[in-house]
Structure 1
């Protein structure tokens, strides 16, 4: 692990941090790159596989894949429901891992409701191999009046 590179990355994440935006500390630290497709109603996140994403046995930690999917699905709700939403339930299945390259998350609506949303998010590697798939149920928060 390159200490100086990670200190610079952490400093950049602290400086960029802005609540309520994609510029949150962890997003920046982990190198999340967001893409919103309005026509397809999807959110994609690209994130590098680095040493901080590994568990002690050298695989991408399941919590990292889960966090990446939860983030993509939450941003999907915020972008296309014009209101924030919170996860009520998430289920992640793990299929493979990667040692380098990038993780690519793609979130889309399975079924949109007035208050409850059903969403799926797949996470793949650079070659398109499926790393995990998460299904989630999200609650759209009421708009303040």
Structure 2
């Protein structure tokens, strides 16, 4: 991640350029809607192709959104290239709706790692319902990484 001293618009644009370089994010249709150092909001329109047999978002889709949001939050807090070292997710209700929204923030950041938390919401007609909570450790990308 690059310079947090950039204007808010430039910082968001930098984040969108990074997202555009992720083919899987493009395949899913992820959108970066807010970004500041240590905080992010990612959204994903919920198409039929992203649902499982009961009609709600596949757990892998919800997990992807949480993982990517955690990494953005940790990476922008650390201001260095990062990867996810680990994360845990709790699915608290089925993700039913037209869109998913993930909001993450870095909670504890050092030189080598950042611990971040994320909430994922399913949105129907503008009403958000919490569907998952996640926490992860984001680490500096090493020389050999």
TM-score category, normalised to shorter length: 0.7 to 0.9
Q: Deviations over 1:46-83 (max 9, x none)?
A: 11111122123322111111111111111223333221
Deviation of 1:143 (Å): 7.0
Structure 2 unaligned blocks of 5 or more: 1-16
Q: Deviations over 1:2-43 (max 9, x none)?
A: xxxxxxxxxxxxxxxxxx82112222222211034327x311
Q: Does 1:120 align with 2:128?
A: no
What is the TM-score of this pair, normalised by structure 1?
A: 0.75
2:67 to 67, 70, 75: 70
Q: Check conservation: 2:51, 2:58, Cα contact below 8 A.
A: yes
Q: Does 1:138 align with 2:126?
A: no
Aligned to 1:45: 42
Mapped partners of 2:97, 2:130: distance in 1 = 14
The aligned runs of 1:1-145 (5 Å cut-off) are 21-23=18-20, 24-38=22-36, 41-126=38-123, 127-142=127-142
Secondary structure of the structure 2 residue equivalent to 1:87: strand
Deviation of 1:142 (Å): 4.3
Q: Check conservation: 1:83, 1:143, Cα contact below 8 A.
A: no
Mapped partners of 1:87, 1:34: distance in 2 = 18
Secondary structure of the structure 1 residue equivalent to 2:118: strand
Mapped partners of 1:64, 1:109: distance in 2 = 21
Secondary structure of the structure 1 residue equivalent to 2:95: coil
Q: Give the aligned length.
A: 124
Mapped partners of 1:99, 1:70: distance in 2 = 19
Superposition RMSD in Å: 2.1
